[in-house]
Amino acid sequence: MAKQGIETAKLGLRIRAFLNGHPKGRQFTFFYDHGDRKECPDDVAEIKGFCGDRVSNVNRLTAIDFMLADNEKDGNVRLLVEVEERSVSPKKALGDILPLIFCDRCAVLCRRKQLYFQITPSTTLIVAGAMPDKGKRLDKVNGVIQPKLAQMTGFPGRLQPKNIDLVFDNDLAGPLLYIEQVVHRIVEAA
């Protein structure tokens, strides 16, 4: 596990524990990157965002930290999360978003089998992390980028910019708590 993924891995374990303990938790498939595959062999995996029917090196556009999907074959993706544990700029946050706007699907290699999940117009993307407010970075994200995303339209049948939440603060605690709360709301509303 990479040093910068430690908090992301801890959050993945907390979400897994919540899903295991919730009566509706079995309705969902959950994967996260940056964890210990020995600890959670079925949950810790690379989540690949891609265009097309089957993932390949040519059509793969990005990797994602968390994915929560309906628990069915080719289930719909409910939530995608990218966590930036290191301090980032607004430009880097935008760089996390763009590839996912193009993606049709996500793929996860689990037990030597590629599993596929559908990104839909109702999929939510959270890009969250630490962004010290040097040069009014947080103002740029909250006052310029987030409102512009809400005004944009996306590709038909894919992630819609209005469903993208940018959640940054001076440290990770608040953004990680927000991600956890969103997962709880999705599961409890199922």
Six-digit token string for 114: 């590629």
* Residue-level pLDDT, tens digit, the chain, 190 residues: 446 788 999 999 999 999 999 999 999 999 999 766 666 567 889 999 999 999 999 999 999 999 999 987 668 999 999 999 988 899 999 999 999 999 999 999 988 899 999 999 999 999 999 998 787 999 999 999 999 999 999 999 999 999 999 999 999 999 999 999 999 999 999 9
Q: Is 184 helix (H, G, I), strand (E, B) or coil?
A: helix
Q: Is 83 helix (H, G, I), strand (E, B) or coil?
A: strand
Q: What pLDDT, on a 0 to 100 scale, did the predictor assign at position 122?
A: 96
Q: What pLDDT, on a 0 to 100 scale, did the predictor assign at position 1?
A: 44
Q: What pLDDT, on a 0 to 100 scale, did the predictor assign at position 2?
A: 45
Residue type, 20: N
Place of tokens 């295991």: 20
Q: What pLDDT, on a 0 to 100 scale, did the predictor assign at position 40?
A: 57
Compute how many other C-beta atoms are within 10 angstroms of the C-beta atom of residue 68: 25
DSSP 8-state code for residue 170: S
Angle among Cα 131, 145, 69 to the nearest 5 degrees reads: 80
Contact 100, 49 (CB under 8 A): yes
Compute how many other C-beta atoms are within 10 angstroms of the C-beta atom of residue 152: 11
The closest alpha carbon to 50, from 36, 67, 26, 34, belongs to 67
For 33-42, b/e burial (b = at least 16 CB within 10 A) is bbbeeeebee
In this prediction the pTM is 0.93
> What sign results for the dihedral spanned by CA atoms 11, 49, 101, 103?
negative
User: What CATH architecture is 3-189?
Assistant: 3-Layer(aba) Sandwich (3.40)
Q: What pLDDT, on a 0 to 100 scale, did the predictor assign at position 37?
A: 64
